[in-house]
Amino acid sequence: MTFPEVVKEMRAHLGLSQEELAAGLGVAFATVNRWENGRSLPASAARKKLSDFCLAHHLELEGPRGGYRLRSLEVTETVEQREERVSKMRALELFDTGEIDRIEVGTFRGLARIHEALFGDLYDFAGRVRQVNLAKGSFRFAPAMYLEEAIKKIEAMPEDSFDAIVEKYVEMNVAHPFREGNGRSMRLWLDCMLKRSLGQVVDWSRIDREEYLLAMERSPVKDLEIKHLLRSALTDGTGDRAVYMKGIDASYRYEGYSVYRTEELG
């Protein structure tokens, strides 16, 4: 949906004239008129006013990535559900726009671009190396003070075979460079390496959640199990949208996110 279309839809939904919407936003009537006629787009301050006005009327204005969209907030959405919905939409945009194939492969810069694309609308730390220490149960990820050095060593690891790629993936998981969203970003990063080197990706929907989590937990000590799981799920369907969407849903399910299906969001 274009910006003029979404403004018109919002007015129709709320039963407002252009003058009434302008008054509600604290802008001139001519400003709203120009928006609806496609003669101008709102500056960041006006866009914030418009977004806040929507929220006050139980609506959410999404965009501009992939077009604008107006969504009713009559059903309360938790923080976790919003994260799942928004980041899954961004994951699908990476595929549909072809951006996933333009991301630098095998580098932290490429991984950070994926993370920023998924979570940039949600967290101000998206795409940035974490500055805090993290642990999962009794396992401690790389200390923040040594993280930059660890990332450089991981970047230098080869990607010339399936085994080498998985080993690089395991090491990046141990580093855990972001405060949140590491696994979901790294599974896409892994697929980018596999696609370039082998012409294959993982069909994540074929890997059981508990088996995957246990294999990853053991992978820093022994990676044979995770290699077996990933190898058994390889597919040549690198450009298959259905495979990609099922993979996103499976990847999110590993982390406990399963309210939305990707195919319903795009």
Q: For 104, which DSSP code?
A: P
Q: CB of 42 within 8 A of CB of 51?
A: no
Mean pLDDT of 122-134: 95
Q: Sign (positive/negative) of CA torsion 124, 94, 74, 258? A: negative
CATH superfamily membership of 3-72:
lambda repressor-like DNA-binding domains (1.10.260.40)
CATH number of 79-265: 1.10.3290.10
Reading the block at residue 83, the tokens are: 């994260």
| pLDDT tens digits, 10-27 | 888 888 889 989 988 888
Burial class (CB in 10 A: 0-12, 13-18, 19+), 77: middle
| pLDDT tens digits, 213-258 | 999 999 999 999 999 999 999 999 999 999 999 999 999 999 999 9
- Among 129, 89, 131, smallest CA distance to 109 is for 129
Residue 49 phi/psi, 5° resolution? -60, -45
User: With 70 as the cut, is the pLDDT of residue 69 above it?
Assistant: yes
The residue with tokens 């990820």 is 141
- β-pairing verdict for 59-62 and 139-140: unpaired
Q: CB of 168 within 8 A of CB of 239?
A: no
Could you tell me where in the chain the CATH 1.10.260.40 domains are found?
A: 3-72
Could you tell me where in the chain the CATH 1.10.3290.10 domains are found?
A: 79-265
Helix (H, G, I), strand (E, B) or coil at 62: strand
